[in-house]
Structure 1
Amino acid sequence: MGFVGLTYLVTWVLTVPLWLTGAGLTWEWAPLLLVVMMFVPTLSAFVVTKWVSPQDAPLRGLGITNAGGVRRWWGRALIAWFGPPVLMLAALALGALFGVYHADWTGFSGLSEQFGFAESAAGAPPASSLALVQVLQVMVLGWLNVIPAFGEEIGWRGYLTSALLPLGQPAAFLVTGILWGLWHAPLLILGYNYPNAPIVVAFLMMVCFCSLLSALLGWLRLATDSVWPAAIAHGFVNAAAGFGILFSAAGHPVDNVTSGLLGWSGWIVLALAILVLVLFGKLPVALVREDPGLTRGVRRLSRR
């Protein structure tokens, strides 16, 4: 598939400096490179829809524009905004219940430790003040994360999930999630997200996480006929990752293998969210499609 091949190729080329410098993810330009990398799926989607499989209305096909505009998807945009932090908190709570996440829900000792502050030190800001600032950063400045997330979502959900719909929605979500997870390969090898895990484990962890999240982002994409809610959710999933440190107990580093949405305890939360959508009849999404055999103006709903 042209989109996947081009996306993987350009990504590997972009990450070459991380290897040549020998600094890996600690290279001073690594943060900027990672942001640029997130726009590679957008580049590939536009190349494919322009020259490989031309579309008459590529912006509409990729979900950048849609019939009804913002009025059609603003409600789910709110879910995309507040949902990821709620899911993250649920994942941390479940991790604490299983004993794999050590929480300090009100003292925020792990956060103070991260900033190098001792609660009793003279002039040290209260931990509650640090926590409030962190929450505001997640919920407000998290919108800045939506911009690079939009770069990914145009490709993965905007183009690929839609292109795979003939396989059925479950397969489209799963295949997209697997390819999306493996796309992170050059970073995973360098320790991205799972720095303490063996490489094979890191690959499996990322693929499982992306596959589950792909179903939720795919639901937002198909239910709204827009890529914007998926981009918002993706951005706030990234922003809410900071909650792991925010609510942690001092002396207990957060392990992404077990804790948060990236960890196996978080997968349970993501799976339950998918199950809720299924039980309430939201998945699979009832797609509106035009049928040439019907009278003009008549639309048919279908689920697959």
Structure 2
Amino acid sequence: MRPPVAFLVAAFGLSWVVALPLWLGDGLRTPLVGVLAALMMFTPTVGVLAAWAFSRTPVRQWLRETGLTFGERRGRTALLVLAAWLGVPLLVALSVAASVAVGVLRVDLDGLSLFQAQLRAQGLPVPESLTSIAVTQVVVAVLIGPVLNTIPALGEEWGWRGYLLPRLVGTRGTVAGLLLSGAIWGLWHAPLTLLGYNYPSLGPWAALYFTGFCVLAGVVFGWLRLRSGSVWPAVVAHASLNAVAPLTLLLGDAAAPPDLVVAGLSGVVGWVLLAACGALLLKIFPVRTPQPAS
């Protein structure tokens, strides 16, 4: 079996195996949905190991080719890690501000009514100093969230940006490789998104919609990988995104809950920002096309 085929078979096949209890149970209402979603993030790493088994590439060469090292210029990689750490929260903040500006998101900064509703839905008491708690959550998500999410984010990124992206870019060109890798990444989420994950109002159509988001986010993550020669900036970006993206709901108004199909970074507003960000990065800071590998 060719290594890329082994990678895709393992990553996609195991994702369905991990998510099977959701399909046999109560879908996203299954109590273990969070645990299963986290476990699913490691299936691309298993795919990388499967590809390595078929490639017979020496370990050190394999680690370098798949981006687990820090690239040829470690200083640049460190700067890109920092840029990802701070840049993703900035994109999320811009998406919230833009959503409010165009009228698709209503925030409640005084009462944080949607945050209160979420606490009550979880059976938790609503503290008097809700604003300070919300501020603390934002600070923790921005500064500490990427650290807490690094391992599961690496579970995905070693596969999609570490292994797959350079091979697609090397054979199909930079833009086509970035777009195709993002589409594959998005479709891999189907065991969850077909159940309405991330976009409950769309039902099974969430699988197609989330793929569009992954294509655009994948351009930014992919640029980080190709520009640095390392997977770590993309890992930090992914970890930060998972930490700060839910903050859109933290600021919402319970009287008009946000529709994440249009609001926030995962909605149409965010798509525009991600597309502009990706295009600017590729234009201003072009990346080197790697040679095709096994």
CA shift at 1:134, angstroms? Answer: 1.2
Task: Indicate conservation of the 8 Å contact 2:216/2:275, yes or no.
Answer: yes
Conservation of the 8 A alpha-carbon contact between 1:157 and 1:227: yes
Distance in 1 (alpha carbons) for counterparts of 2:134 and 2:14: 39
Matched, 1:103 2:103: no
The AA in structure 1 aligned to 2:82 is L
SS in structure 1 opposite 2:86?
helix
* Mean Cα deviation higher: 265-274 or 137-146: 137-146
CA contact (8 A) 2:120 2:126 kept: no
The structure having more radius of gyration, on CA atoms, is 1
**1:169: Cα distance to partner?**
0.9
Q: Distance in 1 between matches of 2:173 and 2:72?
A: 25
| TM-score (norm: length of structure 1) | 0.86
In the alignment, residue 153 of structure 1 is paired with which amino acid? Answer: E
Equivalent in 41, 44, 47 of residue 47 of structure 2: 44
| CA deviation after TM superposition for structure 1 residue 98, in Å | 1.9
> Partner amino acid for 1:135?
V
Seq. identity, %: 38
Answer with 152-161 or 165-174: which moved more: 165-174
Q: Deviations over 1:213-265 (max 9, x none)?
A: 11100111011111011000001111111221122123222222111111111
Residues 85/107 of structure 1: CA separation in 2 closer, same or farther (3 Å cut): farther
Query: Is residue 2:285 matched to residue 1:247?
Result: no
- Which residue of the other structure, out of 86, 90, 94, is the alignment partner of 1:90? 94
Deviation (angstroms), 1:30? 2.1
Paired residues for 1:85-234 under 5 Å = 85-105=89-109, 107-116=111-120, 124-142=127-145, 143-165=147-169, 166-200=171-205, 202-234=206-238
Q: TM-score, normalised on structure 2?
A: 0.88
Aligned residues of 2:221 and 2:237 also touching (Cα < 8 A): yes
Q: How does 1:62-77 map to 2 (within 5 A)?
A: 62-68=66-72, 70-77=74-81
Following the alignment from structure 1 to structure 2, what is the Cα–Cα distance between the partners of residues 160 and 237?
21
TM-superposed CA distance for 1:68, in Å, is 4.7
Name stretches of at least 5 consecutive residues in structure 1 with no aligned partner.
Answer: 290-304
Shift of 1:106: 5.3
Equivalent-residue separation in structure 1 for 2:120 and 2:203 (angstroms): 29
- Cα deviation code 1:132-189 (max 9, x no counterpart): 1211221233121121011000000000001112210111111111111111111112
- Across the two proteins, how many residue pairs are aligned to each other? 280
Determine helix, strand or coil for the equivalent of 1:197: helix
Local SS of the residue matching 2:202: coil
Within 2, Cα distance between the matches of 1:220 and 1:144? 20
Structure 2 unaligned residues grouped into runs of 5+: none
2:288 alignment partner in structure 1: 286
